Amino acid sequence: MLGFLWPFFFFIVAELVNTSILPPRPFITRTELLWTPGVGEITAYRIPVITQCHDGSVVTFSEARKYESGDRGSKFIAFRKSKNAGQSWSTTRFLVDDWTHPDGLNLGAVVVDKEVKTLILLYSTCAHFQCTTRNMTARQFQIRSNDCGETWSKPIDLAKANHDLFNWTWTAGPGYGIQKTLKPHKGRLIVCGHTNVLPMGLYCIFSDDHGFTWKRGAKLLSIPYAGPLYQGSFAPTENQLVELKDGTLYFDARNEYKYRCHCRIYFNSTDGGYTIPIETLNFNSVAVDPTCDGSILLHNDVLYMSHANNDTQRVNTTLRWSMDYGKTWPYSMNVNPGDSGYSCLTRLSDNHIGLVYEKNIGPLWFVKIQLHL
């Protein structure tokens, strides 16, 4: 009888030791300073964005702020690339220059279209309060690359082919967008962002033709809709999304006015990004947050999150991971206990993820994280 059961016993043991079903035990294997301010005319590097391209290389972007570290002011878009999973990086290239524009450009989100092997970077100009106070027009742009960042198109004004986006005070990201791999709307590109102009809130755009035309999609607006907004008002802003294994979209968002908690909030969409029902609102009470941009990444059925883990100060960059698609977050690892800011996650390999984050105001760091021994 026991001899008959032995094969089943070994099968069960083999399944239990399979790392794909065990919680990761992450540890940092490499730390690198990607960008440091004070070189040339750059005062600060901010707003880290990173993703893995369709050829396996890793591309990262930032705002190179020329004369001041604040959000408003002239900037470059800085770019670096790694062909070996973050072990080494190309020298910095500046892809876009807004010259001396008083509002400056705003980065923005990157999305990879694996169907046509294209890398798309979206950014905007005049996405802050000057658009209304100075009667300026917000403009959305994209640049495209068919070789994972070796060469780029000239900037394309999205409003020329997308009248739905004309004069819209909105900025993509910061972070990355997705291409849906499951129904509904398999193959759709979805990029989400926010606006700080009333009605404040979370907005998405989507494309079903590989990024040549875009339409407005899901949105969640502030309450009250037209303001004024106070501490405790509902106002989701900077956000990122992932697609879960059933095709549902999971959004993690900055809780701008700390609606009901000093923590991150999340939502779902089941119609491919057309709508985000307010009924799906939930609170990630474990992920306390000082109102700062964070990041999420679904990798090998594990959902990861990075954020500044403090309820009042931008400090303590933390990596969290969930084995039940964000319902609970029992695991965490500290990345940087000191001054911290925005962060962005990406896949590097089956057993590695990468994180770029702000440490203090100005430099941007990269860490390579191994998930299993």
**Global pTM?**
0.93
- In Å, the largest CA–CA distance within the chain is 84
Catalytic residue check, 176: no
Active-site residue, from 63, 98, 103, 238: 238
The answer for residues whose C-beta is within 8 angstroms of residue 362's C-beta and 6 or more apart is 36, 37, 38, 43, 44, 45, 46, 69
Domains in the chain and their CATH numbers?
24-370 (2.120.10.10)
Q: Is 103 a catalytic residue?
A: no
Q: What is the predicted pLDDT for the residue at 223? A: 95
Number of other residues whose CB lies within 10 A of the CB of residue 288 = 18
Would you give the distance in Å from CA 356 to the centre of its chain? 11
Minimal CA–CA distance to 23: which of 300, 223, 266? 300
Distance (Å, whole) CA 54 – CA 298: 16
Give the type of residue at 95.
L
- Cβ atoms within 10 Å, residue 91: 7
The whole-number pLDDT of residue 8 equals 41
- 311 carries an active-site annotation: no
Classify burial at 361, counting beta carbons within 10 Å of its beta carbon; exposed 0-12, middle 13-18, buried 19 or more: middle
176, 250, 304, 342: the catalytic one is 342
Mean pLDDT by 10 residues, the chain (373 residues): 43 40 94 91 95 98 94 93 98 93 89 98 74 61 98 94 84 96 98 92 97 96 93 97 98 98 98 97 97 98 98 97 97 97 98 96 96 97
Which residue among the candidates 32, 71, 157, 208 is catalytic per the annotation? 71
Please list the residues that pair with 97 across neighbouring strands.
76
CA distance 355 to 161: 34
358 is catalytic: yes
Contact assessment for residue 204 and residue 190, using Cβ atoms and an 8 Å cutoff: yes
pLDDT at 21: 73
